[in-house]
Amino acid sequence: MADKNLLPRLDRLTRITAPQPLFSRPRPLSGLLAPQRFMGLLGLALFIGALVLPFITASPYIISILTSAFIYVMIAMGLNVVVGYAGLLDLGYIAFVAVGAYTSGILSTTLGFTMLETIPFVVLACILAGIVIGGPTLRLRSDYLAIVTLGFGEIIRITATNLSITGGASGIHGIPTWSFFGWSFADGADLFGIHFNAKILFYFFVVIVALGLATVGAARLANGKLGRAWKSVRDDEDASEAMGINGYTAKLSAYIIGAVWGGVAGSLLATHLSAISPPSFEFLYSALILMAVVLGGMGSTPGVIIGALFVSLAPELLREFSEWRYLLFGVLLVVVMIFRPAGLWPANFVLPFLKRRPAAEPVSTTNIPWAQQAKEEAEAEQEEIERMSAVTSTVPDSIPDAVAGVNAISDNPADQEENR
């Protein structure tokens, strides 16, 4: 048996450090047509476009549908973190929107909080809800998780229907609009000679700003340490563990971030609708958000924006089609999964007119001392093999079928159960 004293304490041993890169890398692409810069500028242009829109048309109808569409995009951004980056199918995502909406609604109508003041509580409530829901279920296999989240979505909705604090089946009415430091949007305002009512002010100062922050925030998280951990868990959970990433905490963090995004969007939704009730949080809406993410492209920011705008604006743009849209969405979901699983705008899609990186210059192996040595060794060995080819005595590396069968069972029991 191992004698503990024989073995050195690990922290006494030094760890290897990364060597310096041997070659310089090609400079990153520059100019307007460099993909990253171009997409950033495009996003900025769209953001400014949305900002100046109220100056062009202040039609309450357009502002109203755009407000709900943008809130929808925000919700989809949150679900994208969970489904697109972390690969967790959440079929009850609307529950987090409900938690956010109800938290805001209750605090503002019963305790007189302004909407801005409710936001920290919304974030807190959603973190809590994420932990409560994700904690026990994220250890489960992915398909169990899907159906458990579905159940959780129903639990939240039914609970909201049954409790009196949430207003029961009729919900909460009279949720106020936003106000900053005593100035309420309800008063309206005149800017540059145009009168802005509460709806426009809310759109202008809250929805667009929140959407911009949510989009940039989600994209930044996806590119950093957390995002890499999420994607690695999505791609291969075992390999991810082998890289020192705790799969459970990585998934839980994605779940909580997703919950917070959804909850804040829910709070905005409560303001926009000014009344919330349980039917607004049915499974149907969870499914619609999922469709937005999947149709647009899981893990793709532009894709999710396009998908969410499509799903939310379709009934407005095509009136006669609104009856059929759910059926169509269902069919589309199946068709997309079969023929274009990465969605309309896949995560790694680059617009064709943008600059591409020049093909990497093949580095001559002679530049690398050890590679040159290896090449020589290989050639020497090759000669030797040819010399000895008459006296073939390779060691067999496979064994009879019976044992191979045992191998299939014993070496990889995970294959039997878990492999998708």
Partner 1 sequence: MTEFFSDQLFQLIWNGLFVGSFYALVALGYSMVYGIIKLLNFAHGDIYMLGSFIAFVILGGAVGLFGVASLPILLIVLLITMLLTGAFGVLIEKVAYRPLRSSPRLAVLITAVGVSFTIEYGVRQIFGADPQVFPFRLSGEAFNFLGARISTPQIVLMVIAGLLMWVLQSYIMRSREGRAMRAIALDPRASLLMGVNVDRVISRTFFIGSALAGAAGVMAGTYYGSIDFLMGFTIGLKAFTAAVIGGIGNMQGAMLGGLVLGLLESFGTFALGGEWRDVFTFGCLILFLSIRPTGILGSRVVERM
Partner 2 sequence: MTDTVAPATATARGELLLRVSGLAVQFGGIRAVDGLSFDVHEGEIVSVIGPNGAGKTSAFNCITGFYRPTGGTVHFGGDDITRIRPSTITKRGMSRTFQNLRLFRDMSVLDNVKTAMHSRLRENVFDQLLHTPRYKRAEAQCTQDARGWLDFVGFRGDEELFVTQLPYGEQRRVEIARALATQPRLLLLDEPGAGLNHQEKAELMALIRRIRDLGVGIVLIEHDMGLVMEVSERIVVLNFGKEIADGSPAEIKANPAVIEAYLGAEEDE
Under the binding rule (CB under 8 A), the answer on residue 91 touching partner 1 is: yes
Q: Are 286 and 151 in contact (CB under 8 A)?
A: no
Nearest to 210 by CA among 169, 166, 267: 267
| Residues 6 or more apart whose Cβ sits within 8 Å of residue 201 | 177, 178, 185, 188, 189
Under the binding rule (CB under 8 A), the answer on residue 406 touching partner 1 is: no
The C-alpha atoms of residue 153 and residue 218 are separated, in whole angstroms, by 23
Under the binding rule (CB under 8 A), the answer on residue 111 touching partner 1 is: no
Under the binding rule (CB under 8 A), the answer on residue 238 touching partner 1 is: no
Under the binding rule (CB under 8 A), the answer on residue 362 touching partner 2 is: yes
Under the binding rule (CB under 8 A), the answer on residue 13 touching partner 2 is: yes
Q: What angle do CA 284, 271, 299 make, to 5 degrees?
A: 50
Under the binding rule (CB under 8 A), the answer on residue 23 touching partner 2 is: yes
| Residues 6 or more apart whose Cβ sits within 8 Å of residue 6 | none
Instruction: Answer positive or negative: Cα dihedral of 156, 158, 162, 167.
Output: positive
DSSP-derived letter for residue 34 is S
Nearest to 271 by CA among 204, 175, 367: 175
Candidate residues 57, 162, 170, 246; the one interacting with partner 2 per rule CB under 8 A: 246
Under the binding rule (CB under 8 A), the answer on residue 398 touching partner 2 is: yes
**Burial grade of 127 (CB within 10 A; 0-12, 13-18, 19 or more):** middle
Candidate residues 331, 371, 378, 404; the one interacting with partner 1 per rule CB under 8 A: 331
What does the buried/exposed string (b/e) look like for 341-362 if buried means 16 or more CB atoms within 10 Å of the residue's CB?
ebbbbbbeeeeeebeeeeeeee
Q: Which span sits near partner 1 by CB under 8 A: 30-38, 143-151, 264-272, 357-365?
A: 143-151
Contact set for partner 2, span 251-280 (CB under 8 A): 257
In the complex, the smallest distance separating the C-beta of residue 397 from partner 2, rounded to whole angstroms, is 4
Nearest to 346 by CA among 290, 310, 294: 294
Q: Are 93 and 333 in contact (CB under 8 A)?
A: no
Under the binding rule (CB under 8 A), the answer on residue 389 touching partner 2 is: no
In the complex, the smallest distance separating the C-beta of residue 125 from partner 1, rounded to whole angstroms, is 19
Site string for partner 2, 277-316 (x = CB under 8 A): ----------------------x-----------------
Candidate residues 61, 244, 320, 339; the one interacting with partner 2 per rule CB under 8 A: 244
Candidate residues 16, 32, 52, 391; the one interacting with partner 2 per rule CB under 8 A: 16
In the complex, the smallest distance separating the C-beta of residue 379 from partner 2, rounded to whole angstroms, is 8
Looking at residue 220, its amino acid is: R
Q: Are 28 and 34 in contact (CB under 8 A)?
A: yes
Pick from partner 1, partner 2, none: which does 25 bind, CB < 5 to 8 A by kind?
A: partner 2
Candidate residues 44, 144, 194, 238; the one interacting with partner 2 per rule CB under 8 A: 238
In the complex, the smallest distance separating the C-beta of residue 325 from partner 1, rounded to whole angstroms, is 9
Nearest to 245 by CA among 256, 235, 259, 257: 235
Task: Copy the structure tokens of residue 152.
Answer: 């959780």
The C-alpha atoms of residue 100 and residue 108 are separated, in whole angstroms, by 12
Choose between 13 and 391: whose C-beta lies nearer to partner 2: 13
Choose between 76 and 268: whose C-beta lies nearer to partner 1: 76
Candidate residues 36, 318, 404, 418; the one interacting with partner 2 per rule CB under 8 A: 404
DSSP-derived letter for residue 13 is S
Size of the site for partner 2 (CB under 8 A): 80
Q: Which residues form the interface with partner 1 (CB under 8 A)?
A: 83, 87, 89, 91, 136-137, 139-140, 142-144, 146-148, 150-152, 154-155, 158-159, 161-162, 283, 287, 290, 294, 323-324, 326-327, 329-334, 337-338, 341, 408, 416, 420
